[in-house]
Amino acid sequence: MSKIQTDKSRYPSRYSPGGFVTATQYIIELTCENQARYRKTELPAKFWNLPEWNNTFKRYLRQVQALLKKYDERAIIRAIQKNKICTLFSPVLQDRIKAEVKLLEGIEKVKEFAKLHRPTEIILPEKTVEKNKLSMLDE
């Protein structure tokens, strides 16, 4: 955990007051939060130190590291948030992550297209004023 946001620790932690955590820790926090919500309990600060969550945290740590080798961290986070995934061993998780990867790739393609095809200068037609008696007086 870091008190300041860095490239490595860029996600705000809800369970380490005033700190930032890595993608691995953030993904585990999200999953445990969903699991606690499913159990209708609250996660306290530094919940990973509690005996009931310590084993879960350690198991998820290995699973997240394996997922991060295959997929982009943003896709994993979005899949967990959107689908309220309660366990990283869910059989549908990989399918949800793959769908998010495709979605993120589509978004990146749209951004690239917008950058390449952005008009450099917008030329507006000149404003034409009809001649009437008032405009003749102004001249």
Tens digits of pLDDT across the chain (139 residues): 667 788 888 888 888 887 889 999 999 999 999 999 999 998 888 888 999 899 999 999 999 999 999 999 999 999 999 988 888 998 889 999 999 999 998 888 888 877 777 666 666 667 665 677 766 776 6
Give the span between the Cα atoms of 90 and 87, in whole angstroms.
Answer: 6
Tell me 2's DSSP state.
B
> How many other C-beta atoms can be found within 10 angstroms of the C-beta atom of residue 57?
17
Backbone angles phi, psi at 12, to 5 degrees: -70, 130
Greatest alpha-carbon span in the chain: 89
> How many other C-beta atoms can be found within 10 angstroms of the C-beta atom of residue 34?
17
* C-alpha count within 13 angstroms, C-beta hemisphere, residue 103: 12
Token digits for 80? 């967990």
Give the span between the Cα atoms of 25 and 22, in whole angstroms.
Answer: 5
| pTM confidence score | 0.76
